[in-house]
């Protein structure tokens, strides 16, 4: 399935992005990569912040292609869309989706069920995703990065 099919399924809507929007999304992604390393934060917060960075990067790529995810399950959809935007492999998407579920749980069920190991892993994943999206934008949508 392509993003066009997703649009027809109602999973996405068309969206016209801008230089400002892309820069803002990437700025938040960068900010969160930094803030999740704030000393003294609990593991579940570190995970949630690094996850948010990854989500902003993925959103930047999706909006550069002219779409945004509709409300139902939109985090899941944004993560899956990475296969169609930056060409992420199934393993990377499965990993990121695992952290999405993990973050949902730590929100309302079991705070404390996030390990330091997991917080470190999502940071590495989010950092590499930010870089990949940046490189991909430079190559495919340079107009969204420079005035």
Partner 1 sequence: MITEKKSDRKVTILFGKVRRAILTVLFGRTEEAFYLRQIVRTTGFGLGPVQRELKQLTESGIIWRAVRGRQVYFQANLDSPIFPELKSLIVKTAGIGDTLRAGLASIADYIKIALIYGSIARGEEGLRSDIDLLVVGDIGFADVVVNLQAAQKILGREVNPTVYSLDEFRAKMRANHHFLTSVLKGPKIYLVGDENELRRLAAKRLARRA
Restricted to residues 26-45, the positions that interact with partner 1 (CB under 8 A) are: none
Scan for tokens 């099919």, then name that residue.
5
Beta carbons of 51 and 103 less than 8 angstroms apart: yes
Short-list 69, 46, 60, CA closest to 135: 60
CB of 121 to partner 1, least distance (A): 5
Site string for partner 1, 85-104 (x = CB under 8 A): ------x--xx--xx-xx--
Query: Among 4, 8, 105, 107, which residue interacts with partner 1 (rule: CB under 8 A)?
Result: 105
Is 128 a binding residue for partner 1 by CB under 8 A? The answer is: no
Query: Among 29, 50, 114, 144, which residue interacts with partner 1 (rule: CB under 8 A)?
Result: 114
Residue closer to partner 1 by CB (options 19, 94) is 94
Scan for tokens 């989010």, then name that residue.
126
CA–CA distances in Å: residue 101 to residues 56, 74, 114, 123: 17, 13, 12, 16
In 1-146, DSSP assigns E strands to: 12-14, 67-69
Binding site for partner 1 (CB under 8 A): 91, 94-95, 98-99, 101-102, 105, 110-118, 121, 125
């Amino acid at each position: 399935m392509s993003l066009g099919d997703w649009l027809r399924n109602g999973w996405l809507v068309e969206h016209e992005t801008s230089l400002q929007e892309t820069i803002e999304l990437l700025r938040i992604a960068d900010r969160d990569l930094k803030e999740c390393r704030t000393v003294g934060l609990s593991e579940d917060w570190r995970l949630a912040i690094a996850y948010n960075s990854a989500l902003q990067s993925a959103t930047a790529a999706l909006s550069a292609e002219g779409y945004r995810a509709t409300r139902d399950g939109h985090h899941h959809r944004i993560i899956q869309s990475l296969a169609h935007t930056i060409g992420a492999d199934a393993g990377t998407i499965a990993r990121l989706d695992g952290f999405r579920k993990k973050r949902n749980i730590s929100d309302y069920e079991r705070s404390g069920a996030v390990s330091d190991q997991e917080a470190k892993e999502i940071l590495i994943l989010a950092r590499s995703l930010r870089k990949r999206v940046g490189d991909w934008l430079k190559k495919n949508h340079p107009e969204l990065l420079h005035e």
